[in-house]
Structure 1
Amino acid sequence: MPIFAVHYSYSEATVPGRDTYRPEHRAWLGDHLAAGTLLSSGPFADGSGALLVFQTADADALTALLADDPFAREKLVDHVAVLEWVPVLGAFAS
């Protein structure tokens, strides 16, 4: 199954909303971690965004999955970049 690196970009304007919806967002992430579709995630230290690493059947499945993220639903992500990633070394390499 393909692995995708998802880069969320945030702005200062979305801080209050992200603070409000963070518990729901993290519960959503936890559900996907338990299901095996989320491999890792976390915010950038400077607060500018986050990196999420997913393993899904294809890009369409990932698009549908991301649409259910509370941050996306509440329009708290300013930009989403998705790249299929092929790890050759390390924890995610096959």
Structure 2
Amino acid sequence: MTTYAVTYVYDARSAERDTHRPAHRGFLAGLYAAGVLLASGPVADGDMQGALLIIEAGSAEKVAAILDTDPFAVNDLVADRAITEWAVVFGPWSS
């Protein structure tokens, strides 16, 4: 499996995100339990709100297909998403 760093940039509808957050977190909890999601959490840079997800999958296309079913994505709350292959050299996910 390959490790991917995924960044989400959220759109400005924070109240709508709050509505869908329980389903989003449940979705992520399922990925974590399955060993697909290694870590995730919110990030912010000035006015930008988003998230960083570390995922193991067979390809970037597989990561995209998985994350397309995230309730935040289904409800168009993710304004931008980047999927980057990450070669982990040190740390608990290095091979």
TM bracket, shorter-chain basis: over 0.9
Q: Tell me how far 1:45 sits from its aligned partner.
A: 4.9
> Does the CA contact (< 8 Å) of 2:60 and 2:84 recur in 1?
no
Paired residue for 2:80? 79
SS at match of 2:92: coil
- Structure 2 unaligned segments of length 5 or more: list them: none
Question: What letter matches 2:15 in structure 1?
Answer: P
In the alignment of these two chains, the number of paired residues is 93
Give, in whole Å, the separation in 2 of the partners of 1:25 and 1:82.
Answer: 18
If each structure's strand is expressed as a fraction of its own residues, which one has the higher value?
2
Paired residue for 2:42? 43
Paired residue for 1:55? 56
Give, in whole Å, the separation in 1 of the partners of 2:6 and 2:52.
Answer: 6
Paired residue for 1:6? 6
If each structure's helix is expressed as a fraction of its own residues, which one has the higher value?
1
Question: What letter matches 1:62 in structure 2?
Answer: V
Q: What percentage of aligned pairs have identical amino acids?
A: 46
Question: What letter matches 2:54 in structure 1?
Answer: V
Using structure 2 for the length normalisation, give the TM-score.
0.92
Give, in whole Å, the separation in 2 of the partners of 1:41 and 1:19.
Answer: 17
SS at match of 2:78: coil
Which portions of structure 1, spanning 4 or more consecutive aligned residues, are displaced by more than 6 angstroms? none
Paired residue for 1:90? 91
Give CA deviations for 1:47-94 in whole Å, capped at 9, x if unaligned: 611000000111121111011000000000110011000010011111
